[in-house]
Amino acid sequence: MSNAGDEGEPTTAVLLDYMPRGRPEDDRPQYQKSPVAFALGESDFRLVEIALDEDAHVNIGDRVQIDPPGESIKDLTDIDYEDLSSTAQSEVEYAVDTIIDANEGRFVDFYNDAQPITTRLHVLNLLPGIGKKLRNNVLDARKRKPFESFEDIEDRVSGLHDPREVLVERILEELQKEDLKYRIFARRESE
């Protein structure tokens, strides 16, 4: 599902939280702390902690280049959802919304291109609320003509009322749960 970085494009992330004085639990003297930010990768929904230069001028919601690291990034570490600050956790859903809205074609293509995982399980069945009947409705509609937008999916697939929100729910589930067998969108550090 990743597309940024594949053709030499830089990988970007949306900032979820920015702590100009470093992490509060860091007991070192202030002069030894770096500003810290939490971000969500746009191409692979990778959660990262970023150590920034003192003169970094960033805000929540900004896009930053993480691969290769942008000029004000000193260090970059993959983290789990539980490692995010409470502010960052509360911003995740907004960031996912922003990413999906900015790349609607990529996520509509997910519905157009989704394939079976095994002979008994289709990737569409991993989406919340999509069972066998709804999956078959999606597959039948896309056979006739590829989907062009979320609105097109909603209009042509009986029973699928908010295809965009279904993706948001799945992405949030993948970010928050460590023990999922299948991941469609959110990459983990160990993967």
Return the C-alpha torsion angle 22, 98, 176, 138, nearest 10: -170
- This prediction has a pTM of 0.88
The one-letter code for the residue type at 33 is K
The answer to whether 151 touches 165, Cβ cutoff 8 Å, is no
As beta bridge partners, residue 36 has: 19, 51
Let me know the angle formed at the C-alpha of 135 by 130 and 136, rounded to the nearest 5 degrees.
150
The answer to whether 111 touches 153, Cβ cutoff 8 Å, is yes
As beta bridge partners, residue 23 has: none
CA distance 108 to 4: 16
Which DSSP category does 12 fall into?
E
CA distance 66 to 10: 7
Helix (H, G, I), strand (E, B) or coil at 62: coil
CA distance 52 to 18: 10
Write out the chain's pLDDT in tens, 191 residues.
Answer: 444 444 567 899 999 999 988 887 777 777 777 899 999 999 999 999 999 988 888 999 999 999 888 888 889 999 999 999 999 999 999 999 999 999 999 999 999 999 999 999 999 999 999 999 999 999 999 999 999 999 999 999 999 999 999 999 999 999 999 888 999 999 766 55
